[in-house]
Amino acid sequence: MTRNPQTANAVTRAVPRSRRALRNRIRKAVPWAVISAFLIFALFPVYWIILIAFRPRDDIFQFPAALMPSNLSLDNIRYVWFGTQTNDPVIGFLGTSLVISVTASVIALAFGVCCAYALGRFRIGGKFLSMWILSQRFLPPIALVVPLYLMFRQLGLLDTYTGLIILYATFTIPIVVWLMLGYVESAPPELEEAAYVDGAGYWTAFVRVALPVLKPGLSVAAVFTFIFIWNEYVLAYQLAGDDVATITVYLPRLRSAIAELYGEIAAASLLSVLPAILFAGVMQRFLVRGLAFGGLK
């Protein structure tokens, strides 16, 4: 029986092709495998918090720990939402954090955008002023707790909305300035120059021409500023009290006379991240445009 030479050549050519195809598939699969591993590593704590939040109290400490829940309960959410005899309801602390975060973010954006526009368009202060503004974030907040506490006590701003709003707005203005400075320098100045030719003043050109162009950058700065203020703990713990306490201060208070209430802490943590996720979701369309616009320079 004779072997067809054409068939043998076709088989010989098919073997390297199949090997190359296999190598290409492996080469494409390796990055996805690495990304999936990092994603599982990053999201596992979130999954564990959700799991504990909806688990009955008796199942939280079972050994060995079960990764898939057998019993689900809303008791922890109910205890946190309505409060208990030893712990206050979470809704008041969420409202306090929302008021402080939104108000301080608006103030920081208003001052930070104007400052970034002046630095980027008119080169006020040169590079020294912009670097000095950024240097205000080099000092860790814990180093300022004692002088801030003494100053707030002297001014009567301890445990007040006004004190925390002023504090957070001041601390986040440098972040807004440096986030917006790149967008201001990347935006074309010809539109504002055309407005000047038509008789518009600096303020009119800034409000009616520059701000619409900078809207994607504003969304990025708004998201980062809001999340930073919402998650801040050290200053809120030291300068807030019983009347004005944020959600980050509320979480360590969830304890009983015997031990910490891990189920309630997980439920409160889950509720505390929802406003930030909702805000980022609402701003997602502008956020993607802003991140892309900021990378054009």
Query: What's the pLDDT score for residue 130?
Result: 77
Cα torsion angle, 185, 186, 190, 196, sign: negative
Rounded to 5°, angle at Cα 38 from 37 and 40: 65
Domain boundaries, the chain: 5-78, 90-294
Q: Could you say which residues of the chain have pLDDT below 70?
A: 1-17, 256-260, 285-297
- If DSSP states are collapsed to H, E and C, what string results for the chain? CCCCHHHHHHHHHHHHHHHHHHHHHHHHHHHHHHHHHHHHHHHHHHHHHHHHHCCCHHHHCCCCCCCCCCCCCCHHHHHHHHCCCCCCCCHHHHHHHHHHHHHHHHHHHHHHHHHHHHHHHHCCCHHHHHHHHHHCCCCCHHHHHHHHHHHHHHHCCCCCHHHHHHHHHHHHHHHHHHHHHHHHHHCCCHHHHHHHHCCCCHHHHHHHHHHHHCHHHHHHHHHHHHHHHHHCCHHHHHHCCCCCCCHHHHHHHCECCCCECHHHHHHHHHHHHHHHHHHHHHCHHHHHHHHHHHCCC
At a CB cut-off of 8 Å and minimum separation 6, what does 231 contact?
248, 276
Query: What's the pLDDT score for residue 297?
Result: 45
**Does the domain made of 90-294 have the CATH classification 1.10.3720.10?**
yes
Residue 261 is which amino acid?
L
